Structure 1
């Protein structure tokens, strides 16, 4: 029997993976205790998505285990054992701001939870492929010291810099930089996943995501940039831009495209490997450009305000270079561009809000 185990299965990437893998594995085991609601309140709850998965996929089985607790994880791994062929670890505390409120919780979820899953994999299904969704925040604020140029709607890197053509590659340093508490906990997890690949010879892979997005995101003010922005465009709720004149740039990758990267890696894993994963030059925008797109798609004028205070550890300009991954897996390419992704977010969000009303 071939089983895929997905942590954070009711979240954006986890739920996309359940749908993607549903016809590729005999069963999908989901682990998600909806801590996103604890982090972000009602806006962040993933209960609706968990229910959707259970109603849609007959092979999906859900567990509400807490990844910080080995006694809750071990019975699951013991039950399925070597039948588990893939562990996709997407569960996380994902916010800079929230992490500083409760560092123990943040580190427990992001770092300790990852170690627990790695060790359960090593003990019960060591031949499985272990894929970890890391973050570009492991680079800290090093990207902010690149030679940046201000334009009318965005910050952009100097066109003579090596990163101009494709973006930031995996050689950027993780050291001598401010990460935020969140970034530091993800660094710990990132390095541990690499080490289990290099030290124990396990089939581990690390994917350092840019802005991950898509129609099944439970966006909230502290996390889920495009999803929450579109929600504000639809509802008329006020959105706050934090610093950098609203010209900060992010690359955005659709959740399906990211899971497709995972699928390519699963079929031909490279133990301990690290990849940047984002929209690259194919799909990126500044905050101001995203607002313009939201207004165009929703037909509504956005209600937003500006704060001069940027978020600690936030990037001014970040575009991922996916050249390394595309060299290793040349059949992979992006499927969804930025506007198509945002239209999907709008339609999904509008339908969910209509149900709530």
Structure 2
């Protein structure tokens, strides 16, 4: 039997992976305990998505477990053993601001939870492919010291710079920078996944995501940029822009496109490899540009306010360079551009809000 094990299976990337892998594996086992609700309150709850997966995919088996607890994980890994061919680790505490409130919890989930999963893999299914969803926040605020210029709607890098054409590559330093507490816990996990590949020879891949998005995101104020922004556009809830004149730039990758990257890696894995993963020059926007798109798609004028205080360690401009991944896996390319993604988010959000009434 071939089994894919997905942590954070009711979250954005986890649920997309369940749907993607359901017809490619005999069984997809999901691990999720809805900690997102603990992090972000009712807006962050993923129960609706867990129920959707259970209804849609007969070969999806859910396990409510805490990745910080080795005995809970051990029970699952002992049950399925070497039938596990893929571990896709998407579970995380994903917020800068929240991490500073509870550093022990943040580090426990992001760093210790990742080590627990790596060790369970090594002990019970060492030939499996282990894929980790890391983050561009491992680079800390180093991107903010690039030569940036201000335009009418965004910050942009100088055209003469090496990063202008494709974006930031994997050689950017992880050192001498402010990461945020969240970024630091993800660095620890990121390096450990690399090390299990290089030291133990395991098939591990690290994907440093930009903004990950899609129609199944449980967006909240502290995490889920485009999803929460569109929700505010639909409902009229006031949105707050934090600093940089609203011109901060992010690249955005649809959850399906990211999971498709994972699929390509799984079919031809490497040991301890690292890739930047985002929308690149193909799909990116500033906050102001995203607001404009939300207004265009929803037909509503957004209610937003501006705060001069930016989030500590936040990026002013970040666009991922995917050239390395595309060189290793030339069959991969983006499917969803920014507007198509945001239309999907809008339509999904409208449907969910209608059901909630």
Normalising by the residue count of structure 2, what TM-score does the alignment of the two structures yield?
A: 1.00
C-alpha distance after superposition, 1:66-88 (max 9, x if no partner): 00000110010000000000000
The residue that corresponds to 2:332 in the other structure is 332
1:118-197 aligned within 5 A? 118-197=118-197
1:49 equivalent to 2:36? Answer no
**Whole-Å Cα distance in 2 between the matches of residues 102 and 312 of structure 1?**
16
**Whole-Å Cα distance in 1 between the matches of residues 63 and 241 of structure 2?**
37
**Whole-Å Cα distance in 2 between the matches of residues 238 and 75 of structure 1?**
45
Structure 1 residue 50 displacement after superposition = 0.2
C-alpha distance after superposition, 1:179-199 (max 9, x if no partner): 000000000000000000000
Structure 1 residue 121 displacement after superposition = 0.1
The residue that corresponds to 2:343 in the other structure is 343
**Whole-Å Cα distance in 2 between the matches of residues 335 and 72 of structure 1?**
37
C-alpha distance after superposition, 1:101-157 (max 9, x if no partner): 000000000000000000000000000000000000000000000000000000000
**Whole-Å Cα distance in 2 between the matches of residues 79 and 20 of structure 1?**
23
The residue that corresponds to 1:66 in the other structure is 66
**Whole-Å Cα distance in 1 between the matches of residues 298 and 4 of structure 2?**
37
3-state SS in 1 of match to 2:94: coil
Question: What is the alpha-carbon root mean square deviation over aligned residues?
Answer: 0.2
The residue that corresponds to 2:283 in the other structure is 283
**Whole-Å Cα distance in 1 between the matches of residues 324 and 122 of structure 2?**
27
**Whole-Å Cα distance in 1 between the matches of residues 43 and 157 of structure 2?**
34
Structure 1 residue 30 displacement after superposition = 0.1
Structure 1 stretches of 4+ with a deviation exceeding 6 A read none
1:301 equivalent to 2:301? Answer yes
**Whole-Å Cα distance in 2 between the matches of residues 254 and 241 of structure 1?**
22
Structure 1 residue 241 displacement after superposition = 0.1
Structure 1 residue 298 displacement after superposition = 0.1
Normalising by the residue count of structure 1, what TM-score does the alignment of the two structures yield?
A: 1.00
C-alpha distance after superposition, 1:260-295 (max 9, x if no partner): 000000000011000000000000000000000000
**Whole-Å Cα distance in 1 between the matches of residues 44 and 195 of structure 2?**
32
The residue that corresponds to 2:241 in the other structure is 241
**Whole-Å Cα distance in 2 between the matches of residues 146 and 219 of structure 1?**
30
Give structure 1 stretches of 5+ with no counterpart.
none
> Number of residues paired by the alignment?
357
Structure 1 residue 6 displacement after superposition = 0.0
Structure 1 residue 313 displacement after superposition = 1.0
The residue that corresponds to 1:22 in the other structure is 22
The residue that corresponds to 2:107 in the other structure is 107
Give structure 2 stretches of 5+ with no counterpart.
none
**Whole-Å Cα distance in 1 between the matches of residues 233 and 356 of structure 2?**
17
1:38 equivalent to 2:29? Answer no
Structure 1 residue 210 displacement after superposition = 0.0
